[in-house]
Amino acid sequence: MAASAAEQAPGAPGSIQPADKDGGSGQAQLRFLRPKNYTLPQECIQHELLYPPIFDLLRPYFVRGIRREDFDACVPAAPKDFNIDQGTPGQSKFRMLLWDNEVWVISGGLRRQMFQMLDYGQVMQIQAVAKRWGLPNMEFVVGWGDIFGVKDDGDRRCPLFTYCRSPESYDILIPDGHFLQFKYDEWVEKMKGGGDVPWEQKEERAVGYWHGYCAYLPQADRFGRSEKCIRAAYVNQSALGTNLTAFSTGEREALSLQARFKYTLSTDGLGCSGRFQKLLATGQVEFFYPALRPWVHYVPSGYNGIEEIERIVQFLRANDDMAKAIGQNSQRFAREHLNEEARHCYLKVLMEEMHKLITYSPKLEDFPTRITFDEDMKKYAKEELQRPSVEAR
């Protein structure tokens, strides 16, 4: 899960280098990032550990840049007189234009079917950053779905924003719409306000509770043994051992109930886990993955086979101080670097650095068929975007 820092080519955007001392100003200072042609808000300095992976995501474009034909490779702009009521053809990739800090949909409208929050929620956060701090005029494309995996398409390469990617793909990671849909920030405040169970009162067992979604591809351990559905395999394993309780169900289980266990098992579903950020926030053992460190923020498992979970639980029981520290570290990370401010700061840096790589300057009048994101959401968003979900997921 951890990723190495981006290699910097000469003239690469936002060069990473050691920072000078603060000169006695008393204000927090950036240690590595040197923003060029934009100003980083002061409150974003404390989230600097989130920014180095941005340059790894943009690295494929350092030399060639991002061209109009690259966006065309994602999804074409809507032709004149297109019926916006239909939404973008294909309903999977949506082309946007930032213009004077307003997001416009220029591919024919957003998703008109169910599960709209997977794209609406991502764009809502970009719109919020534009209103909060301002963003440059530029195009971008947001993808719908649990995992994409954009490949190099010859002379064209789609710079697609998604919340989940495979290591070999070119997808550019942005915060998941689930942060908004399932009210992550309210959840964190609830846990800070005493919603968590004291460590000493937690049960010394691992619990896994999830929907029955299986990954697109089989997941293999170090010996090459693969599981067609890793979640089902762990449910079967829990019936054999004494240290794991795993459930697979279509019902939602309040995470506050899972917080009574010391160890929670998180697995990917169809793509990335949509609840991993909340599991971190409970103090138990997607764009933020590279900032996490094994045995500091989480305990890795499964590389030596699914039965390894039994030995890991035994080890953590024998080293309770370590387990407690890992839980505290993950909880602190979730509270400090996955909150709304941190997500907005990540997007501010990403959009500014990406803008410097775009080789052309779009204009609003270039797109005769367009609708503002706010108007699209007001007219076409379904009720599911408003449902209360602090407990769920």
pLDDT at 389: 43
The reported pTM is 0.83
Residue 339 has pLDDT above 70, yes or no: yes
**Residue of 196 and 18 predicted with greater confidence:** 196
pLDDT tens track for 204-213 = 888 877 666 6
Looking at residues 366-381, what average pLDDT do you find? 92
Question: Averaged over 255-284, what is the pLDDT?
Answer: 63
Return the pLDDT at 111.
79
CA-atom Rg of the chain in angstroms: 22
Q: Where in the chain is the domain with CATH 3.40.50?
A: 184-285+289-337
Asked whether residue 387 carries a pLDDT value surpassing 70, the answer given is no
Query: How confident is the prediction for the chain on average, in pLDDT?
Result: 79
pLDDT of residue 285: 41
Q: Residue 275: pLDDT above 60?
A: no
pLDDT at 377: 87
159-169: pLDDT as tens digits: 999 888 777 77
The pLDDT-based confidence of 264 (bands split at 50, 70, 90) is confident
Segment 83-119, tens digit of pLDDT = 999 999 988 899 999 999 999 999 999 877 766 666 7
Whether the per-residue pLDDT at 340 is higher than 90: the answer is: yes
Q: What is the CATH number of domain 184-285+289-337?
A: 3.40.50
pLDDT at res. 305? 76
How much is the average pLDDT of 295-309? 84
pLDDT at 21 over 70: no
Nearest 10 degrees: CA dihedral of 15, 20, 25, 30?
A: 30
Residue 349: burial class (beta carbons within 10 Å; 0-12, 13-18, 19+): buried
